[in-house]
Amino acid sequence: MSRLPALHAPTAPPGTTDRYSPLPLLAVCLGYFMVILDVTVVTVALPVIGTGLHAGVTGLQWVVDGYTLVFAGLLLFCGGLGDRLGGKTVFLGGLSVFTLASAGCALAPAVTVLVLARLVQGLGAALMVPSSLALLRSAYPDRTARARAFGVWGTVAGLAAGTGPVLGGLLVAGPGWRSVFFLNLPVGAAALLLTVRHVPRPAADRSRPGLDLPAQLAAAGSLAGLAGGCIEAGALGWTHPAVLGAFALCAAGLVAFVWLERRSPAPMLPPGLFRAPAFSASAVIGVLLNAGFYGLLFLAPLYFQRLHHYSALRTGFALLPAVGVVAVGSALAGRLTARTGPRLPMVVGLVVGAAGLFGWLPAGPATPYAVLVAPMAAAGFGTALTMPASTAAVMEAAPGARSGAAAAVFNAGRQIGSALGVALFGTLVAGGLVPGLHAAVVLGGTGFLLAAALAARYIPRAGKPT
């Protein structure tokens, strides 16, 4: 992992010692680690959860999808909330909600209670993530230190996502599936203590009027329709009335959202954000990046378990080439971004990631594992190199007073990308795992190349205006 930022910074004025301390970064990253870990750690535990709580497939799907949908659907709302009430207040609220909901998950006596607790976890995650970036921007005002902080933040995301299956397998094989959620309790308590004591409080923008709840409901409905339609298309077909109805809900929700936002005195999605080409391009890049990488992380375990008959724990370790390089890639991204600006690491990372995705084309029932090590490493390294740089590009392009909303847009785009990647890639393998896998990696690799072209065209060099 890259060294913690700003340890070399000038001595802070009296009363602002924490401003140049690594402790704010540690507090934010502990919370963010829990958020991303809980996206992937549960997957390995699902069969055991189903047995223990007598849950069917539908209930288990809600255990996974309920968290992600609430997380993605409320990000814009919670980003605006952070700008209005202050990032520290909202981050602490999110930490508290997430930690308490984790206790509810661990103690759930039935799958219905577990699903409800996961929905509340999604709310806590949505409160934390936009505020986390706003807090880092405030805690590390020096551009170089801030770029390194974003590099560490991106490293934490990759490590949490990648270690989730391995950690989940170890916990399920040892203490049991409830320990997957109990793990969040000490981590959440430590993050709360560090945040209260060491994270500076950025100014809130209290001049903006209330929250745009109708637009929030429209956005959530649109996202739910999009994800639901893509997921169900694999089993029901693209022309099934339920699938078409889900897409109609998506379209209606999107139209309603745009209409309401244009008439709102305090829109969740300030239109001025998209006047900066670097911001708009980075938001699209976040969607394409997560769609390709997390779509691959969804299909790779299916490939290893169904075709090579790996256990869940062995599958987790088999994915280590994709996640073991995350720390190196993110650390390098932080240093390169500080020196050259975000464009170079973004373009290089996306091209390398595309090569990694295309490298899965030889995968088949008899393909040796060694053949896939380099493609997995390239996909993981390219993603790790791109994500911190694109985060920095988004935050640099956004006005300071809208940092929470900017972070929310970027992270909502990433979560939408993850959901779409899993849904679309899963639909492609419905007719056969190997041909579907090949089609998926071609689609994902093409998306990476498109993102590289956007970065080369719209992301400025260091010192150039956004």
Can you say whether the dihedral through the CA atoms of 360, 362, 366, 371 is positive or negative?
negative
Sorted by sequence, the CB contacts under 8 Å of residue 36 that are 6+ apart come out as 156, 157, 160, 161, 164
Ramachandran assignment for 308, one of left (phi > 0), alpha (psi -120 to 50 degrees), beta (any other): alpha
For the segment 233-249, what is each residue's pLDDT rounded down to a tens digit? 766 777 888 889 988 99
| Residue found by looking up tokens 């992600």 in the block | 68
pLDDT at 61: 65
Token duo for residue 74: 């409320």
- Structure tokens of 149? 């902080």
**What would you measure as the largest C-alpha separation in the chain, in angstroms?**
65
Q: Give me 44's structure tokens.
A: 């390995």
Write down the pTM of the prediction: 0.74
Tens digits of per-residue pLDDT, 157-185?
767 776 777 888 788 878 888 998 999 99
pLDDT at position 347 over 90: yes
Nearest Cα neighbor of 296 from 350, 352, 358, 345 is 358
* DSSP one-letter string for 77-107: HHHHHHHHH-HHHHHHHHHHHHHHHHHHHHH
Q: Which residues contact 17 (CB under 8 A, 6 or more apart)?
A: none
| pLDDT value for 377 | 93
pLDDT at 459: 87
Own/partner pairs, 138-144, CB within 8 angstroms, 24+ separation: 138/87, 138/200, 138/202, 139/18, 139/19, 139/24, 139/25, 139/28, 139/199, 139/200, 140/5, 140/6, 140/19, 140/20, 140/24, 140/25, 141/19, 142/6, 142/9, 143/338, 144/5, 144/338
Measured CA to CA, the distance from residue 63 to residue 38 in angstroms comes to: 11
Q: How confident is the model at residue 401 (pLDDT cuts 50, 70, 90)?
A: low
Does the pLDDT of residue 443 top 90, yes or no?
A: yes
The answer, yes or no, to whether residue 373 has pLDDT greater than 90, is: yes
